[in-house]
Amino acid sequence: MPTFRAKGIIIKNRKVREADKIFTIITDNLGKIQAYGRSTGKINSKLGGHLDLFTNSNLILAKGKSMPTLVYAKAIDNFKNIKSNLEKTGIAFYASELLDNFLLEDYKDTRIYRLLYYFFIILDVPDIGDLVQIKILFWSFELKLLNLLGFLPELEKCVKCGKNITNNNNNFDFTSGGFICSNCYNDSKSYFYQVDEEIVNLISKIFKGDAKILATLKINNKQGFIIKETIDKYILYLINKKIKSSEFLEKINSLERQFGI
pLDDT for residue 189 = 55
CATH of the domain at 172: 1.20.1440.120
Q: pLDDT tens, position by position, for the chain (261 residues)?
A: 689 999 999 999 999 988 899 999 999 999 999 999 999 988 888 888 899 999 999 999 999 888 999 999 999 999 999 999 988 999 999 999 999 999 987 678 889 999 999 999 999 998 876 778 888 999 999 999 999 999 999 988 888 889 888 777 778 888 888 888 878 876 555 555 677 888 888 999 999 988 888 888 989 988 998 899 889 888 988 988 777 766 656 655 554 444 343
pLDDT for residue 255 = 45
Out of 19, 54, 77, a domain closes at: 77
Out of 54, 77, 100, a domain closes at: 77
C-beta contacts of 154-159 below 8 A and 24+ residues apart: 154/178, 154/179, 155/179, 155/200, 155/203, 155/204, 155/207, 156/200, 156/204, 158/183, 158/184
**Could you tell me if 9 and 51 lie in one domain?**
yes
Residue partners of 68: CB distance under 8 A and separation at least 6 = 4, 33, 35, 36, 61, 62
Out of 77, 97, 118, a domain closes at: 77
pTM of this prediction exceeds 0.85: yes
CATH of the domain at 57: 2.40.50.140
**Could you tell me if 188 and 245 lie in one domain?**
yes
**Could you tell me if 178 and 223 lie in one domain?**
yes
| Domain span holding position 11 | 3-77
Q: Give the separation between CA 91 and CA 112, rounded to whole angstroms.
A: 17
**Could you tell me if 189 and 255 lie in one domain?**
yes
Number of domains in the chain: 2
**Could you tell me if 59 and 108 lie in one domain?**
no
Instruction: Kindly provide the b/e burial profile for residues 131-166, where b requires at least 16 CB atoms within 10 angstroms of the residue's own CB.
Output: eebbbbbbbbbbbbbbeeeebbbbbeebbbeeeebe
